[in-house]
Structure 1
Amino acid sequence: MPYVIDRIDPSRTAMIVLDMQYDFVDEGASMQVKQASAMVGRLSDTLDFCRTAGIKVIYTAHVHRSDGSDMGLYDDLIPQIAERAALVDGSSGAEIFPALAPAEGEHVIKKHRYSAFFATDLDLILREWGIDTVVISGTTTECCCHATARDAMFHNYRVAFLADVTGTVDYLEVGQGALSADDIHRTTLAILARTTAHVMTAADFRALVAGEPSA
């Protein structure tokens, strides 16, 4: 059976906004995720709803030090990171896209791997807040959003994964066949729905917060 969340208590829920940074969202950026760029307005509205409802919002920013001391294998995986052309800690490209800027008092967790839980204090903060449910938004669906959702479930958080405020990119051929962003997004949602999270739309999420039954 699909994983189902039948209610959301705003006081015990946190929205995690993953990596909505200039280098991923800005038009023409070297690592632009067009699906992420296209959903900025919908995500902004969802964040406004969370703040009004009393749901805490916490951001992540995927960054690396310019000296490569936290790089790991990304030098081999992603050319823009290897060349220090994107996601450099302290650069303008690593900042949160302004239309989604954190409100006063909201935290930005700097992370160096896909999962927002890996080698960060995210779990510590969530537990201090008394959170038992996390909502996943941002980019990319199959990497940072997927990894964070999985780690949240491993840490015993209930996970709501927002299908229409997460997004990814086309995959070029690297030996296993090219894949479109739409195919990657849809497949990841299907996997998460079976194994990890309640996959829902932003509208579904609002309804659950309002106390309406889950579809």
Structure 2
Amino acid sequence: MHEIHDRQGRRDRWSRDASGISLVRPSVEPRPVRFAAEPEPIEIDLARSALIIVDMQNDFLDAEGWFAAVRNAEVAPLGGIIPRINALSSAFRGAGAPVIHLNWGIRADVANLPANVVDKGSSCGQIPGYGDTIASGDVLVEGSWGSASVPAIDQADTDITVFKHRLSGFQDNELDQILRRLGITTVFYTGVNLDRCVFATLMDGCFQGYDAVLVEDATTTVSPGHVSDAILYLIRLLYGFTTKTQALLNAIATKTDIGETA
């Protein structure tokens, strides 16, 4: 039987031999790992897990981007999570788990964006918003400089990039279909901004049935600290779990139980 692997190494393809075509997919052997998390330690199946990197883009992190140049956000601290995200993405790739870059990438004509997105983004027309042109280019338009991941974020040929058009990465795009085809049940979330697109995507993913783990020191926000505290509280109470980068890296590397979160 001739098996065909997709670009991410998964076997979700038909196969052929001399007798015909088989629609039977090979089963995936579980690869359980356990690590410290809040509100309590958890075990996940690494064979059915994916890492999502949310909005690590020029328009949000660069001093010439939309957030800094137009919205006057203090973006320099956002880059502090990049080393941890890169360490996690390297570990996930090494374990054969998908890495997904989930970025804003809207239509230039914003034809599919509702008023509550367009007008909140522009303070109801008072400042340039989604799709508008600023000194660095068109704000978060797919293919623009602003929509690209910052150069410091590592990317590999096997990574998947999904463009989103809402705060939630599960609306109006193909993210859900990709995760289901890859057989993913647990999603790890990193990136910016915790209280905006990261949390909206995490919540929506839970509503779609995915288990959620936030890597809390690999995500951040320009909002005040008490906002992050509230989001972490809600995730632990209602949606899933939070962990730390080193706890997860240790678990992936050793596939054994570990102690307290770093």
Q: Is the TM-score greater than 0.5?
A: yes
Alignment partner, residue 20 of structure 1: 56
Alignment partner, residue 22 of structure 2: none
SS, match of residue 90 in structure 1: coil
1:73-130 deviations in Å (ceiling 9; x for gaps): 2221012425344212221111111221421032111110011111111111111111
Structure 1 unaligned segments of length 5 or more: list them.
171-179
CA distance in 2, matches of 1:168, 1:55: 26
Structure with higher Rg: it is 2
Alignment partner, residue 257 of structure 2: 212
Alignment partner, residue 191 of structure 1: 234
Deviation, structure 1 residue 213: 5.0
The alpha-carbon distance between structure 1 residues 156 and 25, as it changes in their structure 2 partners (threshold 3 A), is same
- Are residue 30 (structure 1) and residue 66 (structure 2) matched? yes
Deviation, structure 1 residue 29: 2.4
- The 10-residue stretch of structure 1 (72-81 or 25-34) with the greater mean CA deviation from structure 2: 25-34
Report if the CA contact (8 A) 2:192-2:198 is conserved: yes
Report if the CA contact (8 A) 1:7-1:208 is conserved: no
Alignment partner, residue 173 of structure 1: none
Deviation, structure 1 residue 214: 7.1
1:156-195 deviations in Å (ceiling 9; x for gaps): 211110111111113xxxxxxxxx2x22222211111111
1:42-81 deviations in Å (ceiling 9; x for gaps): 2111111111122210111112222121222222101242
CA distance in 2, matches of 1:49, 1:26: 26
Give the alignment's Cα RMSD to 1 decimal: 1.9
Structure 2 unaligned segments of length 5 or more: list them.
1-37, 69-74, 123-127
Report if the CA contact (8 A) 1:3-1:195 is conserved: no
Deviation, structure 1 residue 3: 5.5
CA distance in 1, matches of 2:206, 2:105: 24
Report if the CA contact (8 A) 1:66-1:84 is conserved: no
The alpha-carbon distance between structure 1 residues 152 and 3, as it changes in their structure 2 partners (threshold 3 A), is farther
Residue 129 of structure 2, aligned match among 63, 75, 81: 81
Report if the CA contact (8 A) 2:54-2:101 is conserved: yes
- Are residue 67 (structure 1) and residue 67 (structure 2) matched? no
Deviation, structure 1 residue 5: 5.8
Alignment partner, residue 165 of structure 1: 218
- Aligned pairs for 1:42-61 (under 5 A) are 42-61=84-103
Deviation, structure 1 residue 31: 0.9
Runs of 4+ residues deviating >6 angstroms: none
User: Which is helix-richer, 1 or 2?
Assistant: 1
Report if the CA contact (8 A) 1:5-1:214 is conserved: no
- The 10-residue stretch of structure 1 (30-39 or 196-205) with the greater mean CA deviation from structure 2: 30-39
Report if the CA contact (8 A) 1:18-1:61 is conserved: yes
The alpha-carbon distance between structure 1 residues 214 and 123, as it changes in their structure 2 partners (threshold 3 A), is farther
Report if the CA contact (8 A) 2:86-2:154 is conserved: no
- Are residue 102 (structure 1) and residue 147 (structure 2) matched? no
Give the TM-score normalised by the residue count of structure 1. Answer: 0.86
CA distance in 1, matches of 2:258, 2:184: 21
CA distance in 1, matches of 2:133, 2:256: 46
Alignment partner, residue 139 of structure 1: 192
SS, match of residue 191 in structure 1: helix
CA distance in 1, matches of 2:86, 2:94: 12
CA distance in 2, matches of 1:5, 1:152: 21
Report if the CA contact (8 A) 1:88-1:94 is conserved: yes
Report if the CA contact (8 A) 2:66-2:146 is conserved: no
Give the TM-score normalised by the residue count of structure 2. Answer: 0.72
